[in-house]
């Protein structure tokens, strides 16, 4: 949002300096103006500008902004893909456990073994619970 406002102001030939909000907040603390209202913020920013005179810097062109947005979006998509791959790996491991439980149950039913092994439905119930807890 501030990028759009700064661009519009610069197009109207206003001198614009975009500053780090933390720097402005630290200046407010140092000035003893800790209250947080629009009026006080405006006064602190005006005092900040007068005292420190931050130099206006040309903002990125529209093509630079578009490229930056694309790079940021690509980074987000790579992060999402990585997260999905990890989830897929975890789910594959859980599916193997369920399949193992089903196989054990099939062997019990076919061979009429006298021993008892875990019921596959327990694996499935746990698998469902794990799915719900997976992000």
Give the pLDDT confidence of 83-119 residue by residue, as tens digits: 999 999 999 999 998 898 888 888 877 765 555 556 6
By the 8 A CB rule, do 104 and 118 touch?
Answer: yes
By the 8 A CB rule, do 110 and 66 touch?
Answer: no
Lowest mean pLDDT among 33-42, 51-60, 115-124: 115-124
Mean pLDDT throughout 15-19?
88
Q: Integer distance in angstroms from the first to the last C-alpha of the chain?
A: 30
* Residue 22 in tokens: 């933390």
Please state, in angstroms and rounded to a whole number, the distance separating the CA atoms of residues 27 and 50: 12
pLDDT at position 53 is 93
Please state, in angstroms and rounded to a whole number, the distance separating the CA atoms of residues 126 and 128: 5
Give yes or no for residue 36 having a pLDDT over 60. yes
pLDDT at position 75 is 97
Please state, in angstroms and rounded to a whole number, the distance separating the CA atoms of residues 11 and 62: 12
pLDDT at position 123 is 58
The torsion defined by the Cα of 118, 119, 121 and 124, in degrees rounded to 10, comes to 20
125 against 70, higher pLDDT: 70
């Amino acid at each position: 949002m501030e990028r759009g406002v700064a661009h519009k102001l610069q197009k109207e030939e206003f001198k614009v300096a975009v500053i780090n909000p933390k720097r402005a907040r630290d200046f407010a603390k140092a000035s003893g103006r800790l209250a947080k209202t629009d009026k006080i913020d405006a006064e602190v920013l005006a005092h900040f500008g007068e005292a420190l005179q931050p130099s206006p810097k040309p903002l990125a062109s529209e093509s630079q902004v578009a490229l930056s947005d694309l790079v940021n979006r690509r980074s987000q998509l790579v992060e999402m893909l990585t997260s999905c791959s990890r989830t897929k790996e975890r789910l594959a491991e859980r599916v193997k456990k369920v399949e193992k439980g089903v196989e054990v149950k099939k062997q019990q039913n076919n061979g009429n073994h006298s021993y008892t092994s875990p019921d596959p439905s327990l694996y499935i119930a746990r698998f469902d619970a794990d799915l719900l807890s997976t992000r």
